[in-house]
Homo-oligomer: A and B are copies of this chain.
């Protein structure tokens, strides 16, 4: 039995360094098995509920595919056609779903700390698929898994994370997970008003080296990885400010090729305009591979949590 059997995963801090390295190797192993044999048998008879209280595609379908390839079954709770419209609290909904006896529940919610608030009365293990602007621990899992696959290690990497660092929920989880490794340097690249929140910095203080800057071109040659996220228009009070900054936060082939070294380019996807499509063909563009990695590492996580 691995340490993760039956465990709730609501934060990137729920993974120890040893858990991560074990999951990454397991994900590689499952990849090989799935490529060779298709659907596996580990999950036979296991049932996962996906309970996404806000829209998602990437995360939900990635978890569903992972469960299906393990040989398990998915029951999808769809919010749109639900009793929530009748005013039921989501805590009640969780109690009821849990009562059916699922083997695991994947939750997404727009409210920060929703998974934390229900995990103690829900018997099934809960895997957070994102809680508002707070965290998205399995996104970090696939992000760091991708780095590990690219470099064979995470220790010692220099990572630039760029875009809306204030509201993006991938940023806190990625930052927290990187603290599990040694000698990691992070450059937070964002307009001042969208820089990473103080509460996040407090949690990584002294555990990673970090710098806050505004222009990616100032550091690009130092980076092993450039992790790009979107600037969402609706985050700006002044639309002109958005239009002014938008250009600065576009990673194009032209920008990349101006410099002596092109880092591995990652993105949690969906990508809109912040990476131009001419970047897609570069060998360093790993964002589609990264999404694919998500399926395998989530399969690894499910396998461990389900104890199968």
Could you tell me the distance between the alpha carbons of A45 and B85 in the complex, rounded to whole angstroms? 35
Q: Copies of this chain, how many? A: 3
Q: Is the CB–CB distance between A83 and B58 below 8 Å?
A: yes
Within 8 A of B (CB), among A38-72: 38-39, 44-47, 52, 55-58, 60-62, 64-65, 68-69
Does A82 reach chain B (CB closer than 8 Å)? yes
- Asked, given contacts A75-B61, A269-B92, whether A292 binds B68 with beta carbons under 8 Å apart, the answer is no
**Proximity string of chain A (88-123) to chain B, C-beta cutoff 8 Å, 1 when within and 0 when not:** 100011011101111100000000000000000000
From B39, B96, B288, A47 is in contact (CB under 8 Å) with B39
Does A295 reach chain B (CB closer than 8 Å)? yes
Smallest CB separation, A279 vs chain B (Å): 12
Does A238 reach chain B (CB closer than 8 Å)? no
Within 8 A of B (CB), among A1-59: 34-35, 37-39, 44-47, 52, 55-58
Does A254 reach chain B (CB closer than 8 Å)? no
Smallest CB separation, A308 vs chain B (Å): 11
Within 8 A of B (CB), among A265-298: 269-273, 288-289, 291-292, 295
Does A87 reach chain B (CB closer than 8 Å)? yes
Q: Is the CB–CB distance between A64 and B57 below 8 Å?
A: no
Contacts of A288 in B (CB 8 A): 95-96, 99
Does A181 reach chain B (CB closer than 8 Å)? no
Does A73 reach chain B (CB closer than 8 Å)? yes
Could you tell me the distance between the alpha carbons of A81 and B59 in the complex, rounded to whole angstroms? 11
Q: Is the CB–CB distance between B292 and A100 below 8 Å?
A: yes
Smallest CB separation, A66 vs chain B (Å): 8
| Nearest B-chain residue to A103, judged by Cβ | B38
Q: Is the CB–CB distance between B39 and A269 below 8 Å?
A: no
Q: Is the CB–CB distance between A56 and B81 below 8 Å?
A: yes
Binding site for B on A (CB under 8 A): 34-35, 37-39, 44-47, 52, 55-58, 60-62, 64-65, 68-69, 73-75, 77-78, 80-88, 92-93, 95-97, 99-103, 230, 269-273, 288-289, 291-292, 295
The 6 closest A-B pairs by CB, nearest first: A88-B270, A99-B292, A39-B45, A83-B270, A57-B82, A55-B81
Given contacts A86-B270, A96-B288, list 17 more A-B pairs with CB under 8 A. Answer: A34-B101, A39-B45, A47-B69, A55-B82, A56-B81, A56-B83, A57-B81, A57-B84, A57-B93, A58-B96, A61-B77, A68-B73, A86-B230, A86-B272, A88-B270, A95-B288, A101-B292
